[in-house]
Structure 1
Amino acid sequence: MANWVLGLTGGIGSGKTAASDYLASLGVVIVDADIVAREVVEPGSPALTAIVDYFGPESLLENGSLNRPWLRQQVFDNVEQRKALESITHPAIRQRIIDQLEAAKSPYVVLASPLLFETNQHALTTRTLVIDVPEDVQLQRAASRDQNSEDQIRKIIASQLPREQRCANAHDVIENTGTVAQLHQRLLPLHQYYLQQAAD
């Protein structure tokens, strides 16, 4: 990997999108694993064809795009089904992420991924940053932002690495229980440090 890559992660509702938006405003290219994950299953993609072959026609909506709610139901409590889905999507996602990281033209590049450590994407990075909040804040923020029930949010939290482990794995951790302005204040010195590291 030619570029200096910052891996940015955090649990649901932690504010990692607010963090990546701010870094983008400072001129840093963001490669968003969530966006890549949607792109690799667009109509006509090899990954979508493989999903339909495995899960059947119910995995498609009438317009030919992926039936995400239905598929989420199939894999959420079924480890075997989830592994089958991941074996189709993860290699395609990883390759596209690598291509985008290598194509990035900024002093350093950010790989923003909710599952940075879980999917071993941190292996593609030079340094890692976790945006962290307590679980009650995650629940509150995710419930007010998404159309998810508390039960669903708890399941998402449970499917991600425990907070302590995520923070222990990271080089840098920002605690984000304050305002967006406070988050920016904490990010700015790290951004300057990353610029320095990338230049060296």
Structure 2
Amino acid sequence: MNTQRIWRIGLTGGIGSGKSTVASLLAARGAAVIDADAISRSVTAPGGRAIAPIAQVFGPEMIDAHGAMDRQAMREQIFKNADAKKKLEAIIHPLVSLITAEQAQAALQNGQRCLVFDVPLLVESGERWRRQVDRVIVVDCDAATQRQRVMTRSGLAAEEIDRIIALQASRAQRLASADVVIFNQGLSLAELEAQVAQVAADFGL
């Protein structure tokens, strides 16, 4: 493949799939990783770009003592009012898109030729993300492996993890959207790294 072209890669996977590890391995090979989840968290953190509009739309009681969005209060608001979720997304989504574009532009100006957009809900977002990337990499494993990994790292109960998995796109939906699949089950870190290296080579990394 032409290693001089600019690649825009979407990276996704269910909770506990090892997506963040794959993102780190791609970054180590020279990719610019743009983390949509981290950007989303940053806009509702103290000083985040969403804080002022959230206070304006929902009231100052939705901002906590540290200047961040009060997540518990917002969850309760969304539970009571079906329109609240749409209003919040109307604030956050354009800001995430804007900051993502800013980070991508900065990476390109820095000479990066491969941009990896780490998007947990890429499949759930439909065509919005699919249109923005050249290839979609899905990090895959079965649900039992997801559950075990998340229980080990976070201590959440199996029932809670199953609820999170149920809210995400199904494994079949993710695989159907994939151009490239990294099957991360029963692998050592070295074996995963070798699989990532093989994929990365196609993108000039």
Output the TM-score relative to the length of structure 2. 0.84
Q: Secondary structure at the match of 1:130?
A: strand
- Deviation larger for 5-14 or 132-141: 132-141
Name the residue aligned to 1:114: 120
CA shift at 1:10, angstroms? 0.3
CA contact 2:47–2:68 (8 Å) conserved in 1: no
Distance in 2, matches of 1:73 and 1:150, equals 24
2:153 maps to 1:145? yes
Indicate the residue corresponding to 1:172 in structure 2.
Answer: 180
| Number of aligned residues | 195
Q: Which runs of 5+ in 1 are unaligned?
A: none
Cα distance change on mapping 1:114 and 1:75 into 2, 3 Å: farther
Match of 2:15 in 1: 12
- 1:172-191 to structure 2, matched below 5 A, reads 172-178=180-186, 179-191=188-200
Kept in 2, the 8 Å contact 1:51–1:88? The answer is yes
What is the aligned partner in structure 2 of residue 126 from structure 1?
134
Distance 1:111 1:81, change over 3 A: same
TM-superposed CA distance for 1:74, in Å, is: 4.6
* Cα distance in 2 between the residues matched to 1:60 and 1:53: 10
Q: Report if aligned partners of 2:46, 2:66 keep a CA contact under 8 Å in 1.
A: no
Q: Which moved more, 1:49-58 or 1:127-136?
A: 49-58
Matches within 5 A, 1:9-158: 9-72=12-75, 74-75=77-78, 80-104=83-107, 105-119=111-125, 120-158=128-166
Deviation at 1:69, TM superposition (A): 4.2
> Is 1:11–1:157's contact at 8 Å kept on the other side of the alignment?
yes
SS of equivalent residue, structure 2 residue 117:
strand
Q: 1:152 to 1:82 in 2, by over 3 A?
A: farther
Q: In structure 1, the residue corresponding to 2:10 is in which secondary structure?
A: strand
Range that drifts further, 186-195 or 60-69:
60-69
The higher radius of gyration belongs to 2
Percent of matched pairs sharing the same residue: 36
Q: Give the Cα separation in 1 of the matches to 2:143 and 2:76.
A: 24
Rate the CA distance shift 1:46–1:99 in 2: closer, same or farther, 3 A.
Answer: closer
Compared with structure 1, are the counterparts of its residues 73 and 158 closer, same or farther at alpha carbon in structure 2 (3 Å cutoff)?
Answer: farther
Summarize deviations over 1:82-116 as a string: whole Å, max 9, x none. 22221211111011112211221323111011011
Give the AA of the match of 1:17: S
Kept in 2: contact 1:18–1:180 (CA 8 A) = no
The letter of the residue matching 1:194 is F
TM-aligned CA deviation for residue 81 of structure 1:
3.0
